[in-house]
Amino acid sequence: MADLDLGAVRAFLAVAEDGYFGEAAARLGISQQAVSKRIAKLEADLGVRLFSRSRNGAGLTRDGTAFLHHARALVGIADQALEAVRGRRRSLRLDVLDTRLWCVDLIRAFHQTAEDVDSELVTSNGLRTARGSLARGSVDAAFARVSGTLDDDIRQVPAYLEPVHVLAGRDHPLARLREVRVERLSGATVWMPGNAPGSEWAEYYRFLGAAFGIHIDTSGPDFGWEHFVEEIGSGERIGFVGERCRLPWHPRTVQIPVVEPVPVYPCSMLCHRQNRHPALARLIRFAESGFRPYDPRCQWLPEPDRATFAAAPR
């Protein structure tokens, strides 16, 4: 049995209601010839004649009259299905590494301009899990530094460049400074137990350490932000943190900007090119509007990140 062509059924209803092929064609926005072809195909699929044609228009045959109720039911169900899918307000699912990071501030700022958009945050292991989540459609966008090559189906939108700060205890010699030149950190050891092997952020800090002679100590234990800040505040070690990272408050720690040049951590928004969530394009435009490109005169980026985050040529 042939499957019914929904377009042909719609043409049948238009002719049945208007009584003329020409008027049905105008209603459907197609040619009269196209309407005739659709009706002919429907009659062939059903094996019956649906209309009797005369100078006074097209009238329903007995078979056409019998089919009319079912045709209306078919189109009605199809329209309900389309409305259910197109009108569905699914939350925009956004993948972030940690809710303390700057990307969450960006998302909050977006919602101040798009209060009608509902979002759901999903925390993950960064780029390593985001690639699969984007491909499966389980998230609509992910915020991460890109390491390596992305699949052609994944779009990368530069989101921001976050300055790197030193986190030190108040008794540390660096704590007296308003800012620290990166050359002063040459030979120093920076403790970063959260730099997971194989992660894009661990790679960034390896690049940073190699560029300026800084030893990155990734030894544990990694018991989370509270433990990290407590250890820095009560000991002689220092760590690296993002300028906008919302650290747990501790009375014995200070954040010191790193300068000359300023190391900046690159974060991109990633999305699948086939994703059609209605709010995704708005989020992309928002991220693009606030992005400030890499300035090699005063900032430092690993060489693999520079082309993506550089200013567009004029």
Q: Tens digit of pLDDT for each residue in 190-239? A: 999 999 999 999 999 999 999 999 999 999 889 999 999 999 999 889 99
Please list, in sequence order, all residues whose beta carbon lies within 8 angstroms of the beta carbon of residue 242, skipping any fewer than 6 positions away: 101, 102, 162, 163, 164, 165, 265
Residue 88 has pLDDT above 60, yes or no: no
Residue finishing a domain among 54, 86, 118 = 86
* Residues 137, 263 within the same domain: yes
The number of folded domains in the chain is 2
According to the model, what pLDDT value does residue 147 have?
Answer: 94
Under DSSP, the state recorded for 103 is H
**Domain CATH code at residue 197:** 3.40.190.290
Residue finishing a domain among 86, 117, 143 = 86
What is the pLDDT confidence band of residue 10, given thresholds at 50, 70 and 90?
very high
* Residues 148, 290 within the same domain: yes
Share of the chain above pLDDT 90, in %: 74
In a domain, 199, yes or no: yes
The pair of structure tokens assigned to 243 is 């300028």
Task: Tell me how far apart the 2 most distant CA atoms of the chain are, in Å.
Answer: 100
3 state DSSP class of 16 = helix
The pair of structure tokens assigned to 9 is 């059924």
Residue 82 has pLDDT above 90, yes or no: no
* Residues 145, 34 within the same domain: no
* Residues 262, 169 within the same domain: yes
pLDDT digits (tens, 9 = 90+) for 145-170: 999 999 899 999 999 999 999 999 99
According to the model, what pLDDT value does residue 86 have?
Answer: 56
Share of the chain above pLDDT 70, in %: 96
**Domain CATH code at residue 70:** 1.10.10.10
* Residues 141, 288 within the same domain: yes
pLDDT digits (tens, 9 = 90+) for 96-112: 999 999 999 999 999 99
pLDDT digits (tens, 9 = 90+) for 111-145: 999 888 888 999 988 998 898 889 888 899 999 99
According to the model, what pLDDT value does residue 28 have?
Answer: 86
According to the model, what pLDDT value does residue 314 have?
Answer: 42
In a domain, 314, yes or no: no
* Residues 154, 72 within the same domain: no
Burial of 196 (0-12, 13-18, 19+ CB in 10 A): middle
Segment 262-275 shows an average pLDDT of 95
* Residues 159, 240 within the same domain: yes
* Residues 228, 106 within the same domain: yes
* Residues 198, 73 within the same domain: no
Most confident of 7-21, 154-168, 298-312: 154-168
* Residues 125, 266 within the same domain: yes
What is the pLDDT confidence band of residue 258, given thresholds at 50, 70 and 90?
very high
pLDDT digits (tens, 9 = 90+) for 52-72: 988 878 999 999 999 999 998
Other residues' Cβ atoms within 10 Å of the Cβ of residue 305? 21
In a domain, 1, yes or no: no
As a whole number, the mean pLDDT across the chain is 91
What is the pLDDT confidence band of residue 81, given thresholds at 50, 70 and 90?
confident
Residue 84 has pLDDT above 80, yes or no: no
Residue 282 has pLDDT above 80, yes or no: yes
Q: Are 11 and 39 in contact (CB under 8 A)?
A: yes
Tell me the residue range of the domain where 49 lies: 6-86
* Residues 41, 118 within the same domain: no
Residue finishing a domain among 40, 65, 86 = 86
* Residues 41, 119 within the same domain: no
